[in-house]
Amino acid sequence: MIRHRLLLLGMKETEDFSKADFILFNTCAIRENAENHLYGELGQVKGIALTRKDLFVAVCGCVMQEEKPVRYVLDHFPFVSLVFGTNNIDAFYVLLEESIKAHATYVDVRSQPTALVESQEEDTSGRTSRYTAFVDIAYGCNKFCTYCIVPYTRGKERSRRKEDIVNEVLFLKERGYRQVTLLGQNVDSYGKDFGDKYAFADLLEAVAQTGIERIRFTTPYPSDFNDKVFDVMAKYDNVMPALHLPMQSGSDAILKRMNRRYTRKEYLDIVHSLRKRLPDVYLTTDIIVGFPGETEEDFQETLSLCKEARFDGAFTFIFSSRPGTPASRMKDDTPDSVKHERFDRLKDLIDSLSEEKAKSMVDTVQEVLFETVSRRDQNRISGYDRHGKLVHVTGDPSLIGQIRKVKILESHTYSLVGELLDD
């Protein structure tokens, strides 16, 4: 949305800091290294800012919803002209105007949203792709997992109206978009603020009925799932057979301390029910290792759950203590070296599960939506199959934005290599 508004002002994009007149950092607070990364980047800009008095630097996003990082930016990077958070993006032009008038860094961070940010736009110029788009369905999170900063930076869950979402998808479809990904912290809690338990399944069905070619969604919360969602996934061919279902840990004791509202058994039941209805589904997850107090036994439970659930892939994280969250105050006596060693063991297991799945796809035919051309080789194009698996082929760049059948020839841990088939 901000990108769209900047383009409307006539700005043009560059990835080279030294060429830019306006630099905006959008931040993510989920793990500490993202915050440190921001300070590193601002450090790089500092040199340019000293010689370029007309350079405008702004910082926004989740990290700025916290008091300490804002202080840090003000103290260390006084050349920053504007700081704002996640709750007043809708007022972006006003913020810009005020900061241009101000003589010092202009800070406007709100703890409450000023409006339900609507991302429907009159044109698609702010979107980074002409074929695939993210569509927000809800903002914020009410879950308060004890390790997570999101409920503090993103506020209470607010669902967008179903009609607005469906209209946005239709609008994108008419302009040639082939895939939408419905986005929310907990997509399957969608509509609970309207008091409707089945709202996500109904929304997914309404989006499927727009006829857009591919629909994905992320991220669901395990215990908010109901079978009606699986029914819709199974019924509509344009809802992709892929699910990213964060499990976080396989140990009931840890899940409880994380304030995750399901047990290991309940998680597995959902997976079994999913695989029964959608045998072809591609299942991925998020896992945190080294949560405060995690024992070797707890970790073994995580490993065994991965094997039982037969994940096709996973994002794995080492616990990162976020100030202000309950977990940051929990006793944590596991040495970093042990956490890293567990992380490596988990990664090896996940990689072997991914490789196994990838191998089983060799010789199959997959439909691939091509999205990118290799920087090194103009005839090497890549895209994603229906499961969300990355596929590379030799092909003409004119195929970007098209869906083609591909025979899979080779498998790697994170991608597949195939050849285009004639239509």
Q: Where do contacts with ligand 5AD occur on this chain (CB under 6 A)?
A: 30-31, 147-148, 246, 248, 286, 288, 317, 319-320, 322
Q: Which residues contact 352 (CB under 8 A, 6 or more apart)?
A: none
Residue 387 binds: one of ligand 5AD, ligand SF4, none (C-beta under 5 to 8 A by kind): none
Nearer to ligand 5AD, 31 or 160 (CB): 31
The helix/strand/coil state of 92 is helix
Nearer to ligand 5AD, 1 or 318 (CB): 318
**Matching residue, tokens 């044109």:** 123
Q: What angle do CA 245, 250, 253 make, to 5 degrees?
A: 125
Segments of 340-395 assigned E as strands: 365-373, 380-385, 390-394
Q: Which does 185 bind (CB under 5 to 8 A by kind): ligand 5AD, ligand SF4, none?
A: ligand SF4
- Is the Cβ of residue 121 or residue 286 nearer to ligand 5AD in the bound state? 286
Cα–Cα distance for residue pair 315/414, rounded to 1 Å: 12
The Cβ of residue 105 has, within 10 Å, a number of other Cβ atoms equal to 19
With CB under 5 to 8 Å by kind, the binding choice for 144 among ligand SF4, ligand 5AD, none is: ligand SF4
Residue 184 CA to residue 146 CA, distance in Å, equals 19
Beta strands in 168-279 (DSSP E): 179-183, 214-218, 242-244
Instruction: Name which of ligand SF4, ligand 5AD, none residue 289 binds, using a CB cut-off of 5 to 8 Å depending on partner kind.
Output: none
Q: Quote the least distance from Cβ 126 to ligand SF4, whole Å.
A: 25
Among residues 211 and 324, whose Cβ is nearest to ligand 5AD?
A: 324
Residues that bind ligand SF4 (CB under 6 A): 141, 143-145, 148, 150-151, 185-186, 221
Min. distance of Cβ 346 from ligand 5AD in angstroms? Answer: 12
In the complex, the smallest distance separating the C-beta of residue 179 from ligand SF4, rounded to whole angstroms, is 23
Q: Nearest 5°: CA angle at 113, between 112 and 118? A: 170
Nearest approach, Cβ of 186 to ligand 5AD (angstroms)?
11
Q: What are the backbone dihedrals phi and psi of residue 193, each rounded to the nearest 5 degrees, phi first?
A: -70, -15
Q: Which does 77 bind (CB under 5 to 8 A by kind): ligand 5AD, ligand SF4, none?
A: none
- Tokens at 25, concatenated: 């950092």
Which does residue 141 bind out of ligand 5AD, ligand SF4, none, counting CB within 5 to 8 angstroms by kind? ligand SF4
Instruction: Return the SS3 of 275.
Output: helix
CA angle centred on 113, ends 108 and 116, rounded to 5°? 130
Min CB(129)–ligand 5AD separation in Å? 22
The nearest distance, CB 291 to ligand SF4, in angstroms, is 12
Question: Closest approach of Cβ 169 to ligand SF4, in Å?
Answer: 24
Indicate the length of the chain as a whole number.
423
Q: What is the DSSP letter of 378?
A: T
> Is 75 in contact with 162 (CB distance < 8 Å)?
no
* Cβ 68 to ligand SF4 shortest distance, Å: 19
Radius of gyration of the chain (CA): 23
Q: Using CB distances below 5 to 8 A depending on partner kind, what does residue 253 bind out of ligand SF4, ligand 5AD, none?
A: none
The entry of ligand 5AD, ligand SF4, none that residue 221 binds, CB within 5 to 8 Å by partner kind: ligand SF4
